[in-house]
Amino acid sequence: MNVLRPLPWLATALLASCAAPQIEVKRAEAVKPDQHPSRPLFDWHGDDVPGPVSINISLSEQKAHIFRDGREVAWTYVATGRSGFASPRGNFSVLEKIVDKHSNKYGVVVDASGDIVNGNATAGVSRIPPGGRFMGAPMPYWMRITSWGVGMHAGPIPDPGFPASHGCIRFPEEMARKLFGLVKVGTPVHIQ
C-alpha cells in the first residue's frame, strides 16, 4: 500500500504562496428603527377604518399587529418580558384602563435628597436608605390583561426586536396613547 505523505518544505511553500492579503474587517453596526427614518417603530394606517379593535402580539418578532373589524390597521415594535420575566402566552382581554399608572412592584429607590440610588429596584426587596423611598416605574396608558399584573402600556423599546420588560408589553408612547383611546374593557389580546 502506497501512502502519500506531504513533504514539509512543500507544505510551507504552498502556505506562503496562498497567504491572504491583509483585509480590514469591520464590525456590522445595527441601526435601531427609532434612529433611522426609513425604519420606524410603528406604522398606523387605520384612521378611516371603523369597527372593534383586536391585538395580536408576537413574542418571537417583538411586534404587535392591530386589527379593526378583522383588517390590519397597524403594526408596532413592542418590548415584552426578558429572560426570567416571560410575558404570558394565550388569549386575554383588556380588564382595566388607567391613564397614569405606576408599578407597585418595579421602579427606583431614591435617597432623602431625591437622588436615585437604585435604578432597578423591586418593592419589598431592595434596600431603602434612611429618608429614602421606593418610586414605582411609570406605566402610562395602562391596559391590564391579567389578574396578576401584566398589562400593555407606554414604555421604552431600548432594542427593537428584543425583549426588555418585567413581563408587561411596552408600546412606543404614541402608539400606546392611540390604542388606549381605541380599546375598551373586553378588547381581545392574543399573545403567541
Cα–Cα distance between 141 and 70 in angstroms, integer? Answer: 24
Whether residue 127 is contained in a domain is answered as no
Higher-pLDDT residue of 31 and 102 is: 102
Instruction: Return the ∠ at Cα 147 (arms to 187 and 164), rounded to 5°.
Output: 80
Percent of the chain with pLDDT strictly greater than 90: 78
Whether residue 18 is contained in a domain is answered as no
Whether residue 156 is contained in a domain is answered as yes
Cα–Cα distance between 82 and 165 in angstroms, integer? Answer: 6
Range of the domain at 187: 36-99+140-191
pLDDT digits (tens, 9 = 90+) for 121-142: 999 999 999 999 999 999 999 9
Say which CATH number the domain at 156 has. Answer: 2.40.440.10
Whether residue 67 is contained in a domain is answered as yes
pLDDT digits (tens, 9 = 90+) for 31-45: 444 555 556 999 999
Whether residue 17 is contained in a domain is answered as no
pLDDT band at 25 (very low <50, low <70, confident <90, very high): very low
Number of domains in the chain: 1
